[in-house]
Amino acid sequence: MQVRKYEASTIKEAVDMIKKDLGPDAIILSTKESQGHPHNKKVLITAAVSEETYQKKRIVEETLSRQEKEKFFERSAREQRLMINHAYTNLSNKMEAKRRTFTEKNYASIPDDVIDENHGRTRVKAAAQAAAMAKKFIEPEQAPRVKAKPSAEVMQKTTATLVNNKDSGKIEELRGEIKRLQSMVQSINAGMQQPTTSGPSYPGARHGVPQELSSYYEKLVGEGFLEKTVADLLKDAAAQLKENVRKKGLMDAWIAKWIYSNTDIVKEKLREKFHVFVGPRGVGKTSSLVKMASHLVIKERKRIAILSTDTNKVGATEQLRIYSQILNVPFMVWSKGQNINELLAALNGVDFVLIDTEGQTLAQLSEIEYLKKIIPQGIAGVRVHLVLSALMKDDELYSVGRRFRAVHYHDILLTNLDQLRRHGVVVNLQSQLKTPYFAFAIGPMIPEDFEWASKERILDLIFKISNSKWEGVAND
């Protein structure tokens, strides 16, 4: 999947750029106007196309001359699509013809005359007849052997021997055991051959997913999506696309648009002055605060201050003090019993204040009351970020998210995305908690591995578009 952003003066200009870059099958995910002077406004469009369709267009374009490309881009989307399909089919046929030119038979043994379609069959038949003739000379026919029947006297002696044999009892036991085993095998076979009445057994069948979409169900569930979410998504696709669900390019684009429409991010990320980082222990609150502080100072050129309230964790305050010295920003420590609003009042000369808190489980009422005292109350411009690790189990993520609702957090900052193999959890978490994403931590580097959350990055993670940081035209 190729997902890209385009900036232009008009929608028509942007669409022409999309058609030229991604091809006539590109689907527009979002359209908006950039903020700026009324006479200098720009249009921002996000578009996507399936990888297969994009590569097909690219291969065909490589065969065109510059003049042919200019004429190609002047065509309508429908004409471009037909030209791409026709040219790609011709290229595929030529490649297939080249693959069929070799033969396993030595060149010297190929007759010069034209071989008809029955030639091979005739040769095989002649060879078989020759082999049969040779066998008669090598192995002359022999009279069939007749097995002699034992005489009555021999039979009588054999029977007497078996009857009088001391091990006859063991033989009977073995016969009985064999019969019992045969009976068990027959019962098992009978059970396996009974027809099942549970209905279709393809992936997604029990959720009502159409069979032609079972491969998408298997792929998305394998990516970590909740089964019910995938089932609802694919049933919506089947209802809207109808017979077009069999078109891979269109289906991929539809899924991308569904994910784009059903994920939410914070649009005005720097509207509030005070940013409080809360969450359980070990999820990366302090490191995320440092990354955001470095980003604001180095890239945004903002004046910030850092306030630490975690006086219990060994080294936490000293770590933040060192980073504050490196960034050359004010640093303060809150102590129990102090009024946090009074501390913040002394920081009027900065643009943003980042507040670190101690990791909590919020399993007890006392922890909730303690955290509420740290979060500034009664002043404007406060935003609380719940920091969670993408490596946590799904159930644990949902549970922590629900417990921290007691402190009224506004959004989620998700860490450790670089270590995650299945990124469906990014969509799952939002569908369960109904909370927008604020930012992503995607590695250990400071500040390079901090980025504002974007829908494009979510698509990038799920469709494995790139392994690098997202570089869009603008953040939402």
* SS3 assignment, position 423: coil
Q: What are phi and psi of 352, to 5 degrees?
A: -140, 145
**Per-residue model confidence (pLDDT) at position 85:** 80
Which residue, chain included where needed, has tokens 């270590």? 419
Q: What is the per-residue pLDDT for 24? A: 80
Is the backbone peptide bond immediately before 376 cis, with ω within 30 degrees of 0?
no
Q: In this structure, are residues 459 and 1 in contact, taking their beta carbons and an 8 Å threshold?
A: yes
Pair of tokens at residue 225: 């999506």
**Residue 470 and residue 66: Cα distance in Å, rounded?**
31
**How many CB atoms sit inside 10 A of residue 403's CB?**
16
**Confidence at residue 234, expressed as pLDDT on a 0 to 100 scale:** 93
Structure tokens at 160: 């007497």
Q: Which of 109, 104, 57 is nearest to 83 (CA)?
A: 57
Across 411-462, the runs of DSSP E, i.e. the strands, are 411-415, 437-441, 450-452
Record the tokens describing residue 200, joined without a space: 């279709």
Tokens of 294: 């470095």
Q: Who's near 171: CB < 8 A, 6+ residues apart?
A: 165
Q: What pLDDT score was predicted for residue 365?
A: 86
**Do the beta carbons of residue 20 and residue 11 sit within 8 Å?**
no
Residue labelled with tokens 């991308």: 256
Report the Cα 428 to chain-centroid distance in Å. Answer: 12
Spatial separation of the C-alpha atoms in residues 124 and 438, rounded to whole Å: 74
Rounded to whole angstroms, how far apart are CA atoms 225 and 414? 17
Decide: 223 and 424 in contact? Cβ < 8 Å. Answer: yes
Question: CB under 8 Å to 413, separation ≥6 — which residues?
Answer: 277, 288, 385, 386, 387, 388, 437, 438, 439, 440, 441
**Radius of gyration of the CA atoms of the chain, in A:** 37
Nearest in space to 442 (alpha carbons), one of 284, 261, 264: 284
Helices (H), 381-439: 394-403, 424-433
Contact between residue 452 and residue 475 where contact means Cβ atoms under 8 Å apart = yes
Share of the chain above pLDDT 70, in %: 75
Q: Compute the distance between CA of residue 400 and CA of residue 447 in angstroms, rounded to an integer.
A: 27
Of 386, 364, 377, nearest to 435 (Cα)? 386
pTM of the model: 0.63
Task: Return the DSSP state at 226.
Answer: -
CB atoms within 10 A of CB 260: 18
pLDDT tens by residue, 313-322: 767 788 899 9
DSSP strand pairing (43-49 vs 2-8): antiparallel
Cα–Cα distance, 218 to 150 (Å, whole number): 67
**pLDDT of the residue at 94:** 76
What residue ranges of the chain have pLDDT lower than 50? 102, 105, 107-110, 112-115, 137-140, 143, 146, 162-163, 195-197, 468-476
Q: How does strand 274-278 pair with strand 43-49? A: unpaired
- For 199, left (φ over 0), alpha (ψ -120 to 50), or beta? left
CB atoms within 10 A of CB 102: 6
Name the residue among 333, 330, 282, 289 with its Cα closest to residue 309. Answer: 333
DSSP summary character for residue 265? B
